[in-house]
Structures are given as structure tokens and as C-alpha cells.
């Protein structure tokens, strides 16, 4: 739903790499007798799902984590870039949740009411969301980047009784509050202000709740949660159409923890860096509820420009992100390796360490220690989801020893429907159906491609106040609810899913050929001179019926300057990119070939997960 008109990836800065030779790495001492033994052990190894968790509600996860991980660190946050990281234990977090929940239900009478949460990723966002899920009412996470009028419209549409907002959103909330008579309370994060009109500070409420709890009020923890009751209202990002309200239950969210923990081994020793916005279900479910349910900690990224420093200071073991960021890290590191003239050495190291790993000897972390140091030193997992990513990037991460996982899902599946198991990685795939879920392809073509259908415990209750849209998206078969994803893909023999496009994005030629733009965009993304691109069908002005395969391209000016010289004219830049596109066209069948190029000077309109909003771009194009 968010429009990122001015979104720009930060200039990630990594130092030049020295990269030691094998002979210089003291820790690497290969005993080839051990290699032989490891080879035999490796052959016998059988991969299977982990035991995982079995939560029916988030409250079950909350009670369990408060008991088992009480003294462990849950959150790390910096309120000032020059300050220290503030750590919050599970126990302290749990107290705040219970105190806030008690105040919201007992003092403000918000039990079973709808409460919006809006703001950047911050300590009190997590506390507020957990309090809602553990018994207050229905949580309505809202994109903080929405313009003022849209925030107002969403609050009215969702019929909220209260708004919890961050200090950075105070001005906007105060401005629209007079036009929201049905909102009883406006609760400001990081504020201890007493009630004034309808405004109050969250810290004041937590203190008020604390007094009640200390005096024996345990009413909040006594609230029983119906696993299948409507508990969260999320608005989709709307990359192809206007945003819909998605109704989720506690079971939908709890199943994310169960599903992820069965495929990926994360525990109290792990730490995730939270980069993506929490109002998006990808981050709030897999980036928060999942690590919370297994006792891991979460470091809250200060913002995109602080990613490298945050990695080094918080030493995460896992990063949950989107392709655009992974691609930037890959390009920057490899560019610096090349500038250091160490690319040949790195490639030979990859070859040797891959050969050893196939027989169970893994020395990658020692060999590529310098790269790891620049990513915080402890990184072991990178998860990419929300959009396709170039296979070579995932392969490179695996080559240097980082487990590269991909996930697939939608807001409607809360979001996880498929995930790569860490014990059976398959670069290029979006993963396999998670436990208690099933994927199938509807009406597959000769290549096995068709619309992806999903049956899962994470499947939404339905669309908010939109029965028709719900019936269009969900159908019943043999007592099972199936969801029409709108995505095109195929399954391989092992059940791994490959996404090739979106139903609504498909370009149909005059002679009935289907072209999925994502396939061509992936090829264009391999061109260093192209920063970002969007492929679409543009109507021929002369021939109404025929569509011209067109590409909107944002040039990578830094790369162009380095390879082709400075002070180039627009015409010269156009020609450079067009020549590169012509090379790509040679690998495509004739009807898929790009016939038209447009150089784009401003940023693409994007969602919070950095996917291009095609319908908005095409509307602008008209």
C-alpha cells in the first residue's frame, strides 16, 4: 500500500579486501584422512524436518517464552546513532506487555476493540502488537509512509477505537485527530504524558497497568484467545490493484512460528537484524513472532543507511530481507574484491571449499572470514522473499558459506506458504510447501506453469468487508479452503516452487502468446549498467491491438561512468544500454524480445517490500 516515490538504496560502504591465501590462514589445516571419514558420514546423513513448535495462539508462545527465555535478551535498540544499544530481556518485555494490556483493557476499556499501530520499528511497536495479540482486541498495523489523507482514510475504514503512534508521527496524528471523532484515544510511544483530551503517553499507561497488576489484577492474562477469531487487520501493499483489508487470526500467525521452526534451525543463540517495516506481515510474523517464539533476539536496524554499521555492532546470525538489498550487498562486496584484484583468488577458494563441503568438510567461514567480518562476523543465514532474485547471487552466498533461503507467501497467507529448508537448500526456488500446507498448480501449460493454489493453516479468514473478493480468491474443495494466489509458477519433482510471474502482469500478444515480464526483468538485472527495470506491454500507436514489449530502465550511472567514461550524453547512455538489451534479446524467443527502451530518471513507485507498483507506473505512463 505504501508508495516509495523517493526510495533510494543507500550507498553501502565496505573496505577493500585483502583476502589471505590458503597458506596464510593458520586455522585451515586439512587432514585428508579426516576428509575420507567425513565423506562416508556425509553419504549416510538423512535430512528431515526439525521438531519445531506447536503453538495454536501467539499467547501460548508468549507464556512459553516468558517462562523459558526470561533472562535472555529479546530486543536491542539504539535511540541515537552515537549512543549505546539498549537491551530488553524477555522478562522485562513480558512485564511491559502485561502492564500495557491491563491498562488498555481495564483503564481505557479497549477489550475487543480495534487499535491501530503506526510508526517506525521501535521497542513500543513490538510491545503494542504483542499486547493486542495476547488479548486486547484487533490490531491494525498501518504503513507509516502513507500520506496524511490515506492514514485518515484507513483509520476510518478500519473503525479503530484507538491509535498507538510513534513520536515521528505525532504531528500528522494531531492534525487529523479532529477529523476522527470515533477514535477514543491517541496513545503516543516514548511518552509518559498523562491523559489530556484524548491523548496519553504509552509509558504512563504501562505504569498505570503496573499498579493494577501489583495489586493482584491478572485479568489480562486470564483472557482466553480463540485461535480462529479475527485478531489482525492488515492492508495489502497493492502492487497490482487497490489495497484490500486482510483479516487474520491468532492461529494464522502462530502457524508461521510452527512452520518456520520445522524448516530452519534458529534458537536462543541466534539474533536477527530487523530491517523491513513491522506493519508488513513478512517482518511482523517471520521477523518478530518467529524469533520470539524460539527465544532468539532481534536487533532493530536504525535505518537503511546504518545497515553496515548495525551489522558490525550487533553481530546478527540472520538477516531477513528483500532482493534489492541482497543484490546491493553482493554487488558492493564483489566490486571491492575486484578493485582489490582478489577476484581470481576468491573464485579459486570457492572451488576448493565447495569440493571439500561436498564430502562434509566445511572451512568456508575460516577462508572467507574477512567477508564475514564486514557483515558482523556471525552471519549464517540470509532469507530473501517478496520478489524474485538472480540465482547467481544466492549461489554466491552459498559459495562463501552463508545459508541462503527463500520464502514465498502473501499477506493473505500471513505470509508464509513456502520456505527453503536450511537442510535442503535449492537456489532459485521459492521453497517448498511448509508443514500442514499444500501447493498445487492450476491448469498447467506444457511447461507445467499455471496459477499457484495454496492450502494452509496460515490462510486468512477473508477480505475485510468484501465478500465478493473473498469468494473470488478462496474456494472450497473436499472440505478444504484453497487460495488463488494470482502468481504463476511450477513445482519440480521434489515439490519445490518456482515463481515465473503474476497473472495480472502477463502480456498477451496478438497471436495468443503469454509473456511474463519478471522472466525478462531477471535477465536485464544481470546487466551492470542497469540499476532497476520494469518490462511491460505498451500499445502500438499505429496498431491498436498489438503490444510492444517495452522496458523502463533506471541506469546505473556509477557503473556506466566507470566502464564507459564520464560526462556522457543522454543519447550515449541510451545507446550503451540498448546495445546491452540487444544482447539479452538474442537469448529470447522473437516474440519476447524487447522492442522499446525508455530511460527513467526518477525512482519507481514501490511498496514497502520494494516491489515496483506496476499499475501505478502504467497509470503514470498513460
pLDDT above 90 as % of the chain: 69
Architecture of domain 506-621: 2-Layer Sandwich (3.30)
> Higher model confidence: residue 386 or residue 127?
127
Mean pLDDT of the chain: 90
Strands (E), 377-449: 381-384, 403-409, 416-419, 431-433, 437-442
DSSP code string of 7-51? --------PPP----GGG-TT----HHHHHHHHHHHHH-------
Q: What local confidence, expressed as pLDDT, does residue 5 receive?
A: 34
pLDDT (mean) for 198-219: 98
458, 258 contact by CB (below 8 A): no
Class of domain 58-293: alpha beta
Write down the pLDDT at residue 3: 30
- The mean per-residue pLDDT over the stretch 293-312 comes to 95
pTM above 0.85, yes or no: no
What per-residue confidence (pLDDT) applies to 476?
Answer: 96
Per-residue pLDDT reduced to its tens digit, 340-357? 888 899 999 999 899 888
* In the chain, ranges of CATH 3.30.300.30 domains: 506-621
Look at the alpha carbons of 287, 292, 295, 300 in this order and tell me if their dihedral is positive or negative. positive
Q: Is residue 211 helix, strand or coil?
A: helix
Nearest one of 573, 512, 577 to 551, comparing CA atoms: 577
pLDDT of 620? 72
Q: Which of 387, 472, 455, 451 is nearest to 417 (CA)?
A: 455
DSSP class per residue in 288-320: IIHHHHHT-EEEE---GGGHHHHHHHH--SEEE
pLDDT digits (tens, 9 = 90+) for 440-476: 999 998 889 999 999 999 999 999 999 999 999 999 9
If we measure between CA atoms, which residue out of 197, 218, 10, 235 comes closest to residue 95?
218
Of 62-66, 478-482, 503-507, the one with minimum mean pLDDT is 503-507
**In this predicted structure, what is the pLDDT of residue 32?**
58
Q: What is the mean pLDDT of residues 280-308?
A: 95
Cβ pair 257, 289 in contact under 8 A: yes
In the chain, residues under CATH classification 3.40.50.12780 are 58-293
Bond prior to 415 in cis (omega within 30° of 0): yes
Average pLDDT over residues 401-406: 96
Helix (H) or strand (E) holding 548: strand 547-555
Q: What is the pLDDT of residues 7-22, one digit of tens each?
A: 356 667 777 777 776 5
DSSP letter string, 573-585: HHHHHHHHHHHHH
Convert the pLDDT of each residue in 157-185 to its tens digit: 999 999 999 999 999 999 999 999 999 99
pLDDT at 38 over 80: no
Amino acid at each position: 500500500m505504501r508508495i516509495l516515490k523517493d526510495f533510494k538504496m543507500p550507498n553501502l560502504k565496505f573496505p577493500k579486501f585483502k583476502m589471505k591465501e590458503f597458506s596464510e590462514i593458520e586455522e585451515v589445516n586439512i587432514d585428508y584422512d579426516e576428509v575420507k571419514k567425513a565423506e562416508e558420514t556425509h553419504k549416510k546423513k538423512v535430512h528431515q524436518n526439525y521438531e519445531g513448535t506447536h503453538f495454536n495462539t501467539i499467547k501460548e508462545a508468549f507464556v512459553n517464552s516468558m517462562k523459558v527465555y526470561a533472562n535472555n535478551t529479546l530486543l536491542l535498540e539504539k535511540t541515537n546513532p552515537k549512543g549505546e544499544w539498549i537491551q530488553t530481556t524477555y522478562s522485562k518485555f513480558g512485564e511491559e506487555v502485561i502492564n500495557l494490556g491491563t491498562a488498555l483493557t481495564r483503564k481505557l476499556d479497549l477489550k475487543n476493540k480495534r487499535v491501530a499501530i503506526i510508526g517506525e520499528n521501535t521497542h513500543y511497536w513490538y510491545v503494542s502488537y504483542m499486547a493486542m495479540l495476547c488479548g486486547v482486541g484487533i490490531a491494525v498495523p498501518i504503513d507509516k509512509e502513507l500520506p496524511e489523507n490515506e492514514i485518515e482514510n484507513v483509520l476510518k475504514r478500519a473503525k479503530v477505537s484507538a491509535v498507538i503512534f510513534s513520536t515521528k508521527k505525532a504531528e500528522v496524528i494531531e492534525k487529523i485527530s479532529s477529523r476522527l471523532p470515533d477514535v477514543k484515544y491517541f496513545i503516543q510511544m516514548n511518552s509518559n504524558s498523562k491523559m489530556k483530551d484524548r491523548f496519553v503517553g504509552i509509558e504512563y499507561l504501562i505504569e498505570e497497568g503496573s499498579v493494577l497488576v501489583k495489586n493482584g489484577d491478572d485479568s489480562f492474562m486470564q483472557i482466553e484467545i480463540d485461535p480462529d477469531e479475527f485478531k489482525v487487520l492488515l492492508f495489502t501493499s497493492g502492487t497490482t490493484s487497490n489495497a484490500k483489508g486482510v483479516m487474520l487470526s491468532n492461529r494464522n500467525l502462530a502457524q508461521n512460528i510452527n512452520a518456520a521452526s520445522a524448516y530452519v534451525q534458529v534458537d536462543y543463540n541466534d539474533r536477527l537484524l530487523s530491517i523491513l517495516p513491522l506493519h508488513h506481515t513478512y517482518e511482523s510474523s517471520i521477523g518478530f513472532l518467529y524469533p520470539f517464539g524460539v527465544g532468539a533476539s532481534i536487533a532493530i536496524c536504525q535505518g537503511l543507511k546504518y545497515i553496515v554499521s548495525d551489522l558490525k555492532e550487533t553481530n546478527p546470525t540472520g538477516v531477513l530481507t528483500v532482493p534489492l538489498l541482497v543484490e546491493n550487498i553482493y554487488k558492493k562486496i564483489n566490486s571491492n574484491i575486484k578493485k582489490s584484484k582478489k577476484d581470481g583468488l576468491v573464485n579459486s577458494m570457492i572451488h576448493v571449499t565447495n569440493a571439500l563441503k561436498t564430502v562434509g568438510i566445511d572451512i568456508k567461514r575460516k577462508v572467507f572470514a574477512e567477508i564475514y567480518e564486514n557483515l558482523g562476523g556471525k552471519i549464517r543465514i540470509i532469507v530473501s522473499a517478496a520478489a524474485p532474485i538472480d540465482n547467481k547471487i544466492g549461489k554466491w552466498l552459498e559459495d562463501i558459506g552463508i545459508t541462503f533461503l527463500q520464502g514465498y507467501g502473501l499477506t493473505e497467507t500471513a505470509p508464509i506458504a513456502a520456505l527453503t529448508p536450511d537442510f535442503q537448500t535449492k537456489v532459485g526456488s521459492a521453497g517448498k510447501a511448509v508443514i500442514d500446507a499444500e501447493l498445487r498448480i492450476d491448469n498447467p501449460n506444457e511447461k507445467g506453469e499455471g496459477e499457484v493454489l495454496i492450502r494452509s493453516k496460515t490462510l486468512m479468514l477473508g477480505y475485510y468487508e468484501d465478500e465478493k473478493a473473498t469468494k473470488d480468491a478462496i474456494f472450497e474443495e473436499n472440505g478444504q479452503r484453497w487460495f488463488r494466489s494470482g502468481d504463476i509458477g511450477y513445482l519440480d519433482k521434489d515439490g519445490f516452487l518456482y515463481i515465473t510471474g503474476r497473472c495480472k502482469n502477463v502480456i498477451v500478444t496478438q497471436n495468443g502468446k503469454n509473456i511474463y515480464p519478471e522472466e525478462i526483468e531477471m535477465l536485464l538485472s544481470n546487466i551492470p549498467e542497469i540499476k532497476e527495470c520494469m518490462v511491460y506491454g505498451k500499445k502500438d500507436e499505429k496498431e491498436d491491438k498489438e503490444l510492444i514489449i517495452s522496458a523502463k530502465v533506471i541506469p546505473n550511472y556509477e557503473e556506466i561512468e566507470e566502464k564507459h567514461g564520464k560526462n556522457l550524453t543522454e543519447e550515449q547512455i541510451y545507446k550503451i544500454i540498448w546495445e546491452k538489451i540487444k544482447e539479452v534479446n538474442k537469448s529470447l524467443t522473437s516474440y519476447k524480445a524487447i522492442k522499446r527502451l525508455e530511460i527513467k530518471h526518477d525512482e519507481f513507485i514501490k511498496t514497502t517490500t520494494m516491489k515496483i507498483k506496476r499499475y501505478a507506473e502504467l497509470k503514470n505512463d498513460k
